[in-house]
């Protein structure tokens, strides 16, 4: 799929291609390229049948804060990848979503000071728009990897983000993981080429973090 025909992902808080500033990993640990791509609702916070529509709707799942902190202490960068079609359905706007994400970040950090989300990408598109950025397509994961790699290797530079067959120089994702609660998440993991772990939406990230880290990986 050519870039000129795709609807790209959006980035929380800035333009997609704006240079990304990364916080140091805990204990000044050197990043070795591992990324935890996380769905949002049902992984970090409680999902609602009629959407999380406002900052006051944000309730994190039990242990999500400490699980996120454990991942970062183990050397993972955190990239949230979330479908948010209410925007293009006309239910609310990008600014409202930014407030939701600000609330999410704040609650997580209150519970664990290492529970930093390095990057949030979202797809505002409705299913019928056919965006490469909407899961189960892998566009958000492709952009997330390139943004994080660029911020690490070339801080301050604007990355050129490529998608699909146009992105030829792809890194090894064998140490990365995607966690989600839906089949669309697992489809995105498969199409991108990263291990996918499906969690129970009532339990979220905390229920699978031990499986991700295994013995001796913290």
Residues marked as catalytic: 39, 41
Q: Which two three-digit tokens encode residue 47?
A: 């999902």
Place of tokens 């409705």: 126
**Whole-number Cα distances in Å, 129 to 2, 6, 125, 166, 207:** 16, 10, 6, 21, 33
Place of tokens 């664990």: 112
CB neighbour list of residue 11: distance below 8 Å, 6 or more residues apart: 18, 119, 120, 121, 122, 143, 147
Report residue 30 CA to chain centroid gap. 20
Helical packing angle, 94-111 and 64-73, nearest 10°: 80
Which helix (DSSP H) or strand (DSSP E) does residue 210 occupy?
helix 209-213
Report residue 96 CA to chain centroid gap. 18
């Amino acid at each position: 799929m050519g870039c000129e025909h795709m609807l790209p992902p959006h980035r929380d808080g800035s333009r997609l291609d704006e240079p990304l500033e990364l916080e140091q990993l805990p204990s000044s640990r050197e990043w070795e390229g591992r990324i935890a791509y996380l769905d949002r609702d049902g992984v970090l916070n409680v999902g609602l049948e009629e959407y999380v529509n406002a900052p006051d709707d944000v309730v994190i799942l039990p242990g999500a804060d400490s699980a996120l902190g454990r991942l970062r202490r183990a050397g993972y960068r955190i990239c949230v990848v979330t479908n948010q079609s209410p925007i293009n359905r006309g239910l609310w706007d990008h600014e409202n979503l930014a407030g939701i994400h600000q609330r999410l970040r704040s609650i997580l950090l209150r519970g664990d000071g290492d529970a930093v989300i390095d990057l949030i990408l979202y797809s505002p598109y409705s299913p019928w728009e056919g965006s490469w950025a909407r899961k189960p397509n892998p566009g958000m994961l492709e952009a997330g990897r390139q943004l994080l790699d660029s911020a690490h290797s070339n801080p301050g530079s604007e990355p050129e983000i490529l998608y699909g067959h146009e992105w030829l120089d792809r890194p090894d994702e064998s140490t990365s993981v995607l966690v989600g609660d839906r089949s669309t998440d697992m489809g995105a993991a498969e199409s991108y080429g990263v291990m996918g772990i499906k969690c129970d939406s009532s339990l979220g990230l905390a229920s699978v973090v031990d499986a991700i880290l295994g013995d001796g990986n913290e």
